[in-house]
Amino acid sequence: MTSAFLHHGGRLTEAARRFGGDPGEWLDLSTGLNPAPWPLATGTTTDWAALPDPDALAALESEAARHFGVAPALVCAVPGSETALRLLAPMLAMPGRALVPAYRTHAEAFAISRPVAFGESPERPEAIVLANPNNPDGLLHTPAAILDWHAGIAAAGGWLVVDEAFVDCHPQASVAPEVGDDGRLVVLRSFGKFFGLAGLRLGFVIAPGALREPLRAALGSWPIHAAALAIGRAAYADGEWIARTRAELPRRAAALDRVLDRHGLAPQGVCPLFRYLAGCDAEALFTRLARARILSRPFANQPDTLRLGVPADPASLDRLDRALARG
């Protein structure tokens, strides 16, 4: 399998080059992005000419903080939570540890990183990165279990970084409200996944001042582009859309589960943006779907697993159903 597909989802141009068709014909189930994005107001235009306004940055961080349930002062907007982790890792200046399976950046961001099991207490200062819910397997831990782990990690002089890129559907599972200037807890949030607008490259770091201030310094005076400032702020303020989407995504995921169950593919995970298939012949399944112009997400080193994004509508789900039936 081409390594392009094993690294990240969303490589539609590469998929079309490899398996044929126009990228526009493809059904992209290779990411965990909400395929029914927050609706941009039509006619909205961005003022690209001016430098981004520092007041607009503060307003975005404040609106996002309200959504996260934290004090605005703890929040630093970043051009993507992936970039943020890559900037934070050298600032932490200690070896990293990541779960298996995990989002690949969780290990890659550190010069040295070893696997870790959830709850395993380190004996030395180490930076442990956990996604909750986890990607790709969709496993969700309770805040109590995470905070318990944090206590042991902090006692050893380490840091716990909780990547909550996919937590928006489980607000009660977020540990963001536990971040404080005296803790060793960092939370990453992503705008693009739940709101389905990954092209904006917008994320947030909720961290103690000891990390937040060097991060702000590294990003400089204008970390966020003009469109992300305006769209991010408006979307986080749209409580009605957020509530509706939190109800709708699990319904779509349940419909996908019924199709997968029918084909004998036991879906795993609780995050309603994707499902994880373990114990399958991933290469064969990936290729079968690709021939039907459906892009799924295989993983390097885990040849028996595949991740599927949740289709946006019945027509897309039916297309997947037919591709799976083709055998």
Least distance in Å: CB of 261 to its own copies?
Answer: 28
The answer to whether the CB of 250 falls within 8 A of the CB of 243 is no
The answer to whether the CB of 113 falls within 8 A of the CB of 107 is yes
Pick one of 5, 28, 101, 253: the residue that binds its own copies (CB under 8 A): 28
Pick one of 228, 259, 317, 324: the residue that binds its own copies (CB under 8 A): 228
Q: Does residue 246 interact with its own copies by CB under 8 A? A: no
d(CA 321, CA 45): 39
DSSP state of 288: H
The answer to whether the CB of 36 falls within 8 A of the CB of 196 is yes
Least distance in Å: CB of 105 to its own copies?
Answer: 7
| Residue 169 φ then ψ, to 5° | -85, -10
DSSP string over 98-120:
E-SS--THHHHTSSSEEE--TTP
Pick one of 40, 73, 100, 210: the residue that binds its own copies (CB under 8 A): 40
Q: Select the span of 92-100, 121-129, 226-234, 275-283 touching its own copies (CB under 8 A).
A: 226-234
Q: Select the span of 153-161, 221-229, 269-277, 278-286 touching its own copies (CB under 8 A).
A: 221-229
Pick one of 7, 114, 291, 326: the residue that binds its own copies (CB under 8 A): 7
Q: Does residue 257 interact with its own copies by CB under 8 A? A: no
The answer to whether the CB of 27 falls within 8 A of the CB of 319 is yes
Q: Does residue 53 interact with its own copies by CB under 8 A? A: yes
Least distance in Å: CB of 87 to its own copies?
Answer: 7
What's the token pair of residue 23?
A: 């990228």
Q: Does residue 20 interact with its own copies by CB under 8 A? A: no
CA-only gyration radius of the chain, Å: 20
Q: Does residue 13 interact with its own copies by CB under 8 A? A: yes
d(CA 73, CA 70): 8
Pick one of 199, 209, 239, 314: the residue that binds its own copies (CB under 8 A): 199
Which run of H or of E encompasses 262? helix 239-262
Report the interface residues with its own copies, using CB under 8 A.
Answer: 7-14, 28, 31, 33, 35, 37, 40, 46-55, 79-80, 82-83, 86-87, 90, 105, 108, 192, 196-201, 217-228, 231
